[in-house]
């Protein structure tokens, strides 16, 4: 089970000796792409795209060009998420579309990116209720994608939920797929780490924002602190 430490500090890629999960939107802020010290995975930044613009303004070909740049120049990229369409109520309200339309757009984008990038881009399942995720599996199957043969299958639209029971039901209903849980929070991660292939989380940063800094730290809070992030990750892995 691979646990990717989520960070909004893309320069950490240069010298952090743990797997990182970094947003494409954050990486674009760097003039020169960093050279990765350790393996990592790329988030497409879809949640922000949909909520800010009501859809994807970047074409699949442009996204593929940028992913390929990170493959060639940053290196050690395990995989990249597609330009998926998450299904939180706020996202649906912003786009004006339905869950089924978001699922269709997600699968169509994956197929286009897979043609452009190959296996570096992973399929992502979208939905909200358990049965909607199962319908998304069927949609991939009808498109000729055998998810059981994929090394990683992302599970979207779970990182901002507080209902662990609902997330657990979704994850368990999708077995035996090799699932990546996007933004899985602490308790939910611990309950599912034995059946997930991988997961990522930035929960450490949100928690640190409301706590005093670690002893020896000079910043007011540790939401951008490497030491805090690594200690939090270690606790997660040994729990």
Residue 32 domain-assigned? yes
CB neighbour class for 217 (10 Å; exposed up to 12, middle 13-18, buried from 19): middle
Total-model pTM? 0.94
20-62 pLDDT, tens digit per residue, is: 999 999 999 999 999 999 999 999 999 999 999 999 999 999 9
Looking at the chain, how many residues does it have?
239
Residue 103 domain-assigned? yes
* Parent domain of 73: 2-201
70 and 23 Cβ atoms separated by less than 8 Å: no
**Reduced to 3 states, what is the DSSP secondary structure of residue 40?**
strand
Residue 135 domain-assigned? yes
Residue 44 domain-assigned? yes
Residue 155 domain-assigned? yes
135-172 pLDDT, tens digit per residue, is: 999 999 999 999 999 999 999 998 877 778 899 999 99
Task: State residue 76's pLDDT score.
Answer: 98
Q: What is the CATH number of the domain that holds 60?
A: 3.20.20.60
195-215 pLDDT, tens digit per residue, is: 999 999 998 998 898 899 999
Provide the domain count of the chain.
Answer: 1
Task: State residue 236's pLDDT score.
Answer: 87
pLDDT at 93 over 90: yes
Cis bond before residue 18 (omega within 30° of 0) = no
Task: State residue 6's pLDDT score.
Answer: 96
Instruction: Measure CA 58 to chain center.
Output: 18
Q: Rounded to whole angstroms, how far apart are CA atoms 168 and 98?
A: 24
Residue 222 domain-assigned? no
Show the DSSP H helices in 162-225 as ranges: 164-173, 186-192, 203-208
Q: How large is the greatest C-alpha to C-alpha distance in the chain, in angstroms?
A: 56
235 vs 39, residue with greater confidence: 39
Q: What is the mean pLDDT of residues 97-105?
A: 98
Token duo for residue 118: 């190959």
């Amino acid at each position: 089970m691979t646990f990717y430490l989520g960070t909004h500090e893309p320069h950490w890629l240069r010298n952090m000796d743990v797997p990182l999960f970094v947003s494409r939107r954050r990486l674009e802020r760097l003039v020169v792409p960093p050279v990765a010290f350790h393996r990592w995975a790329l988030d497409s930044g879809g949640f922000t795209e949909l909520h800010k613009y009501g859809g994807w303004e970047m074409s699949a070909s442009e996204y593929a060009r940028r992913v390929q740049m990170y493959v060639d120049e940053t290196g050690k990229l395990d995989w990249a998420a597609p330009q998926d369409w998450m299904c939180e109520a706020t996202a649906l309200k912003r786009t004006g579309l339905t869950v089924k339309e978001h699922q269709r757009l997600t699968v169509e984008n994956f197929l286009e990116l897979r043609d452009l990038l190959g296996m570096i881009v992973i399929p992502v399942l979208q939905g909200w209720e358990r049965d909607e995720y199962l319908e998304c599996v069927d949609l991939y199957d009808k498109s000729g994608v055998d998810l059981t043969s994929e090394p990683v299958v992302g599970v979207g639209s779970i990182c901002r939920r507080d209902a662990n029971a609902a997330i657990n039901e979704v994850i368990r209903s999708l077995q035996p797929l090799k699932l990546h849980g996007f933004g899985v929070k602490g308790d939910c991660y611990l309950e599912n780490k034995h059946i997930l292939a991988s997961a990522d989380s930035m929960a450490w940063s949100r928690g640190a924002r409301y706590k005093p800094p670690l002893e020896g730290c000079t910043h007011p809070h540790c939401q951008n602190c490497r030491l805090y992030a690594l200690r939090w990750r270690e606790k997660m892995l040994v729990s």
